[in-house]
Structure 1
């Protein structure tokens, strides 16, 4: 018995000690992550090189939460990169005497093509300083090569590859699955191009959807080819021939057809960078990454002292639009409206740059946000900067602005609305053997029930609502863009456009990213001494961590398991849980 208790208590003590050690380790990691948010300013050494890798996902605005996207299995942070931070860093490096040049080490880039275009534009502006940009990779994805083509020299590993094949899109359809399950999607829509519901009712693209997809994809590809053509001095015809013929099948072919300037190994690149930056082999290269360079202080302009009182507010609207409070990558009508309202009433904020990256969502939520932007425009300049996508509800909230900017490769338009109700009667009765009986006080008390099909009278009522919302939508666009309502209807109907198309039909005013939007805001507000504030204000990192630890662990587990495919699961889940009339893009658009 004594032996038993000795073993028992020894085991208990071991468990307790292990638990305490685990907690202490976690607290150490936790404290380290929190303290990393408030690191001291980083000093940039002489003859440094700004190294840009873009390994992690790029979003418009990075969070301060150090646990966001932290992988506890590998104990590594996959912190997202903020586009505005990247653009500021490139601009700062242009005049930083300690930065000799930029080194791009690119492979896959987890960002939309419009985001890549903004970074590419910033790199081209950096080259005006006379400083070098060198790019190297073992493998360039097509998106990475588009960005790398802005460099002075583009190198690839002798056994590497440059992907160059044109754009392609694959759409997934669920009609057959729903039929087998016995679930009927009941669709009410306005607009022949409003194809958000096509995955549920068709087994392939409709002619209208195929037409719009080909149109905007060709526009985006033409812009990519034009950009590469300009910097690489290869004609657009030659580039398209290379894509069609699949001739770029190895590194030697990429060199032969002038897509790259040389085939080199990493040690040869290091030697070239040492020569360009003026450091000896003994001293070694002085790389500084984006994460650290963001923390380096920016030199104050001459004549400007202290903290400027007058401000330009950048208000971010990223993700699906819905009612209520939002979250990191989801727009909530209530929370965003409060932010816009406060910015409007703040006399120190002289102009608003409204950065939109959204495929749309709830039509009602879009209307709530539209109202606040419309009121704000009447008291101070509002400049919209569109990101990768600002379509349907994303365009709805943009249309009142004084000026609307988009990149050539932005996806926008999709001016149309729809509603969807699910009928699962066949699934319940025939597949599962479940029947549902009902009691109602009025004729249509159970309208919208998933256990029966809609009646004609109910469909007519919802169709009328959809038509009314569409009419309000195109009226807002006509008034905001100062064009005829009939013209808006002709380019609306739910049709998706690229940024280039959108400028031709007056949905946007000019091409440009967030930096250009800020320039216009400064001009319109007639500012000289000002500072930039980013809204909504981020929560304290400690509070964010606590909220994340209390958050939905199931969602995190799914995201971890599915990895890159998580966005398809998320998009399907959103479509299956739609509520009310929607103003949103037809499907998840992934262009490669």
Structure 2
């Protein structure tokens, strides 16, 4: 009888849990359907309006509809994302939209990296050529937010707010001490004096070579930051450096005194000034449309235009297999590259890369498809925030490479890491291993309970050397350089886009739009359609096609918030297989 009641109770509990899960999934599906139906609904824009740009979103390369973002269930909100493609499209559309008179930059928080900010900044500067105004406001400007704000005709700050202007910094966490405490030794084989990717695992501080390269490329990015801000604010580079070095700007009054801001305003005072500039009665509301809701009409393309320029997006770590929207799968991206190669309507291709690299084998598989494509159609690479190591590998075969001055690139180097957990297993956990094998190397790379033998380490080093030589040859062939030249700027060294342009790894400094224009010019096109790959699924298709992964990601983002990126990094590191060509740590410049 006791067993009977136990099984009944278990059954009832399972039914209750299943019911609630079905309710949640049902809400998700309904939200996805609503999102799908309303995605293309145009927001009405009144005459005499402002475009309200609020960048408190995760900025991705392009907008990927997510049904979970549309759910309005208490306690189940997630961080929303917004694509750079739609941000740029919105600003460009507002430039020629007679209903929109100016832009209100609401810069309470900006999380994008500097190359992405450069694209947005250039779009804002282009917007100003229309004669329309930009006003920036924030309670406190971070340096990234100020980089965008510096384009504005007027920069206002809350009277009790601040402007952060202290220079750039980059910090890397080192976990060797943690591994030592756990009894884990990371056995490293690599090629490249500057290939610092493995340093967090085997050192407790930066090596001299790594400090040299980070100092160099961070200085290059800072130089560009200072030059751009100085040109917009009519301040000299020396004065801006003095302000940063002395930490002279800490309050709103300091910002005004040193020319970084134009005035102090509370929000109501700002709104009153905007109403006055638009000749709106003080008792009436401002007409404003959010950038996330604004659907510009854009230039019309004749239905008879057959020729196309394809933009193929490759975003995230490079892995074998299918990958995802935020992970470059060799199978998926190769398949998309084959599609555009075989499509007679596609006359030119832009390969948009935003990747720290990853699997060397997967990178070579993608490189092969780029090389085949280039032999039939023009291929222009456009680099985003980072296109380093494997991210540069897959770019090397293109006809031309575009990068932003503050793109992180290069890192032509290779490494492999094999953990030795003997200390952890034997000494910490009391676990020992024993077995038999039919050959000297039968358990090579399969056991992590012992150190590598000298012969095994030598084999690994030869394999890493071979892959590095292949990497260097790919770059030498693609860039029309000798192997010696590539090796001299390789060795795992990281460069800014500005430096890469100077040493020949990049052909031009420019935006994604510049790359598209170059592809059209090389293809001899004046009229063309723009098509993107891989195709974006609507929210419902995306949900039904991979609900388990979507749900787990949704819950992870909800629980971890801003720390989700670190979770992604750990998950990616644990999933690495084979020899790597990548930057495995998060390089955060702030």
Q: Who is 1:439 aligned against? A: 436
Whether 1:328 aligns to 2:325 is: yes
What's the offset of the Cα at 1:107? 2.1
What's the offset of the Cα at 1:308? 2.5
Whether 1:550 aligns to 2:548 is: yes
CA distance in 2 between partners of 1:161 and 1:264 (Å)? 12
What's the offset of the Cα at 1:75? 4.9
Q: Aligned Cα RMSD in Å? A: 2.2
Aligned-partner SS, 2:438:
coil
Q: Who is 1:564 aligned against? A: 562
What's the offset of the Cα at 1:275? 2.8
String of CA shifts for 1:430-454, please: whole Å, max 9, x gaps.
1111111111121111001112211
Alpha carbons 1:69, 1:79 under 8 Å: kept:
no
What's the offset of the Cα at 1:30? 4.6
* Most deviating of 66-75 and 189-198: 66-75
What's the offset of the Cα at 1:121? 0.7
Aligned-partner SS, 1:45:
coil
Aligned-partner SS, 1:67:
helix
Q: Who is 1:533 aligned against? A: 531
In the alignment, structure 1 segments of 5+ residues that lack a partner are: 1-10
What's the offset of the Cα at 1:355? 0.5
CA distance in 2 between partners of 1:244 and 1:501 (Å)? 24
CA distance in 1 between partners of 2:497 and 2:399 (Å)? 17
CA distance in 2 between partners of 1:46 and 1:151 (Å)? 22
Q: Who is 1:405 aligned against? A: 402
Alpha carbons 1:42, 1:297 under 8 Å: kept:
no
TM-score computed with the length of structure 2 as normaliser: 0.93
CA distance in 1 between partners of 2:263 and 2:525 (Å)? 47
What's the offset of the Cα at 1:164? 0.7
CA distance in 2 between partners of 1:590 and 1:23 (Å)? 36
CA distance in 2 between partners of 1:554 and 1:345 (Å)? 36
String of CA shifts for 1:471-518, please: whole Å, max 9, x gaps.
111111111111121010011000000011111101001111111111
String of CA shifts for 1:514-556, please: whole Å, max 9, x gaps.
1111111111111122111111001232121224532275554
String of CA shifts for 1:138-195, please: whole Å, max 9, x gaps.
1111100011001111111111111111111221111111111111111110001111
What's the offset of the Cα at 1:298? 2.2
Q: Who is 1:58 aligned against? A: 59
Q: Who is 1:584 aligned against? A: 582
CA distance in 2 between partners of 1:416 and 1:102 (Å)? 44
CA distance in 2 between partners of 1:210 and 1:270 (Å)? 47
Q: Who is 1:147 aligned against? A: 148
Equivalent of 2:493 in 492, 495, 500: 495
Alpha carbons 2:78, 2:557 under 8 Å: kept:
no
String of CA shifts for 1:367-405, please: whole Å, max 9, x gaps.
000010111111111111100000000000001111111
Q: Who is 1:396 aligned against? A: 393
What's the offset of the Cα at 1:209? 0.5
What's the offset of the Cα at 1:290? 1.4
CA distance in 2 between partners of 1:71 and 1:444 (Å)? 57
Whether 1:312 aligns to 2:309 is: yes
Distance 1:204 1:524, change over 3 A: same
Whether 1:274 aligns to 2:272 is: no
CA distance in 1 between partners of 2:101 and 2:134 (Å)? 9
Distance 1:255 1:588, change over 3 A: same
Q: Who is 1:362 aligned against? A: 359
Distance 1:30 1:504, change over 3 A: closer
CA distance in 1 between partners of 2:27 and 2:542 (Å)? 20
Distance 1:402 1:457, change over 3 A: same
Equivalent of 2:470 in 469, 472, 479: 472
Equivalent of 1:35 in 34, 37, 41: 37
TM-score computed with the length of structure 1 as normaliser: 0.93
CA distance in 1 between partners of 2:28 and 2:291 (Å)? 27
In the alignment, structure 2 segments of 5+ residues that lack a partner are: 1-11
Whether 1:424 aligns to 2:421 is: yes
What's the offset of the Cα at 1:247? 1.3
Equivalent of 1:450 in 444, 448, 451: 448
Alpha carbons 2:312, 2:533 under 8 Å: kept:
yes
String of CA shifts for 1:290-335, please: whole Å, max 9, x gaps.
1221x342253xxx53252211111000000000001120000001
CA distance in 1 between partners of 2:126 and 2:536 (Å)? 30
Alpha carbons 2:79, 2:558 under 8 Å: kept:
no
Distance 1:364 1:93, change over 3 A: same
Distance 1:172 1:222, change over 3 A: same
CA distance in 2 between partners of 1:30 and 1:476 (Å)? 44
CA distance in 2 between partners of 1:340 and 1:421 (Å)? 33
CA distance in 1 between partners of 2:65 and 2:325 (Å)? 11
Q: Who is 2:512 aligned against? A: 514
Distance 1:23 1:493, change over 3 A: closer
CA distance in 1 between partners of 2:47 and 2:449 (Å)? 70
- Alignment map for 1:37-436 (pairs within 5 Å): 37=39, 39-67=40-68, 72-76=73-77, 78-293=79-294, 295-300=295-300, 305-306=302-303, 308-436=305-433
CA distance in 2 between partners of 1:214 and 1:390 (Å)? 19
Distance 1:555 1:266, change over 3 A: closer
